[in-house]
Amino acid sequence: MSDAADTGPVLAADGTPLKRSLARALRVQKTRALLLIAPLLVFVLISFIMPIASMLFRSVENDIVRNTLPETVPLLAEWDATSGELPGEEVYAALARDMIVAVNAKEHTKLATRLNYEQTGIASMFRKSGRQIKKWDPVADAPFKDKFIELHEGWGELETWKTIQTHSSTYTSGYFLNAIDMQKTPEGIQAQPENKQILVKLFIRTLIMSLIIMGACILLGYPVAWILANLPANKANLLMILVLLPFWTSLLVRTSAWKVMLQQQGVINDVLVWIGLVDDANRLIMINNQFGTIVAMTHILLPFMILPMYSVMQTINPSYVRAAKSLGATNWTAFWRVYFPQSVPGIGAGSILVFILAIGYYITPEIVGGTKGVFISNRIAYHISSSLNWGLAAALGTILLAAVLILYWAYDKIVGIDNVKLG
């Protein structure tokens, strides 16, 4: 029976060549897997990836000037800003027509807010002028140049026109420049005035404080992970509860606990006064500064350091250290040359995890950080909900996101996304 099959291709039971039959089976399998994944993938793409992408887009988007002043912008583009002369009457007439439309649609205040980020004072000029412009007629009231200058002297200043011209492009790098304390001016890219330079400082502070928190977590986490990995299982499980309970407790609970502990009338100060270490009049100030943020965040992120370290240390074979000792190594050499190098992957995984979590933290710094201990995230939240400079918030968010993604990539290289474990 096998003689005939030797010459032709191998056939499956239904007579098709085996190769094709296998390929079809594989295709069916792949399709089934993708169909199972598809609903979730679509859901995450639409409700998570798309919002993030639209945020990225918002950080360069700048169509408000062009949309609000559709006639003025092309005419103004031909104006030579270096000539030292104001734009001609046709620009003013176009502006009048645009403004009448904008004021009636109440769009001019948005434009005013946008331009005010670039040149302080423009917003009030737009609002004041808006009330008068409403009454104008685009044909009967011409010419407009003197009328505008009469309304507000700002319309007769070169700076105003230069600002509008500079920021009338559909896409802008302005928000990103603002995010690193630079600004786009008619004369090119310049540093912000000294008193407005806070964001680079804030980025550096976020980095440094996250590094300190990461370092503190390594120092505190390493001994704990070691003792958990080396105790007998029943004792280790009991102590593990002390690590897992904070891990599972609500972030807000832990943050409020630290507020209770660190306040001037709080538990730690009370204890210190009671044992006489601190005078009642000079209670330590431990909250609303960097110290408060560092202590509270170290506590909150410590389980994220201990758990990866612990899982790596569990796999380290104790006989290596014993072998080193029996070959004459001191305790320290055995630890430093034999045990520690094997535990480095755990430190790496924990550190990156803690660092990623730390640089994006918002809640804890907001509550215990005061003004000195806040992070870049708090600034983003401020621009979203208070100053409403959404473009700048998006640019800051984009920079933060880029930093996190680079770290995430490193984490993937070192640990692997698939190896993320919980609890």
Q: Which amino acid is at 257?
A: A
CB of 129 to other proteins, least distance (A): 29
Tell which phi-psi region holds residue 101, choosing left (phi > 0), alpha (psi between -120 and 50) or beta.
alpha
Based on CB atoms, which residue is closest to other proteins, 164 or 295? 295
Residue closest to 348 by CA, chosen among 209, 214, 216, 207: 214
What's the closest the beta carbon of residue 251 comes to other proteins, in angstroms? 6
Report in angstroms how near the CB of residue 71 gets to other proteins at its nearest: 28
Q: Rounded CA gap, 259 and 242, in Å?
A: 21
**Shortest approach of other proteins to residue 417 CB, angstroms?**
6
- CB 349, min distance to other proteins, A: 14
Q: In angstroms, what is the minimal distance from the CB of 15 to other proteins? A: 23
Alpha carbons 112 and 45: distance in angstroms, whole number? 35
Which pairing describes strands 182-185 and 188-191: parallel, antiparallel, or unpaired? antiparallel
Considering beta carbons, is residue 185 or 311 the nearer one to other proteins? 311
* C-beta pairs of 264-270 under 8 Å, 24+ apart in sequence: none
Strand partners, 190: 183
Q: 350 and 419 in contact (C-beta within 8 Å)?
A: no
**Residue 58 C-beta: closest distance to other proteins, Å:** 6
Question: At residue 285, what are phi and psi to the nearest 5 degrees?
Answer: -95, 105
**In the complex with other proteins, which residue's Cβ is closer, 79 or 390?**
390
Q: Which is nearer to other proteins, 45 or 77 (CB)?
A: 45
DSSP code at position 15: S
Evaluate the CA torsion angle 408, 411, 413, 415 in order and state its sign. negative
Q: How far apart are CA 208 and CA 206, in angstroms?
A: 6
Q: CA-based Rg of the chain, rounded to a whole angstrom?
A: 32
Q: Which is nearer to other proteins, 58 or 127 (CB)?
A: 58
Residue 296 beta carbon to other proteins: minimum distance, rounded to whole angstroms: 8
Residue whose CB is less far from other proteins, 131 or 235? 235
Nearer to other proteins, 127 or 259 (CB): 259
Measured from the CB atom, the residue of 47 and 195 that comes closer to other proteins is 47
Q: Is there a contact between 354 and 301 (Cβ–Cβ < 8 Å)? A: yes
Q: Where are the alpha helices (DSSP H) in 231-362?
A: 233-248, 251-262, 267-274, 290-313, 318-326, 331-333, 340-359
Least CB distance from residue 373 to other proteins, whole Å?
14
Tokens of 415: 């640990």
Going by C-alpha positions, the residue among 157, 134, 160, 165 that lies closest to residue 65 is 165
Q: 69 or 376: whose CB is closer to other proteins?
A: 376
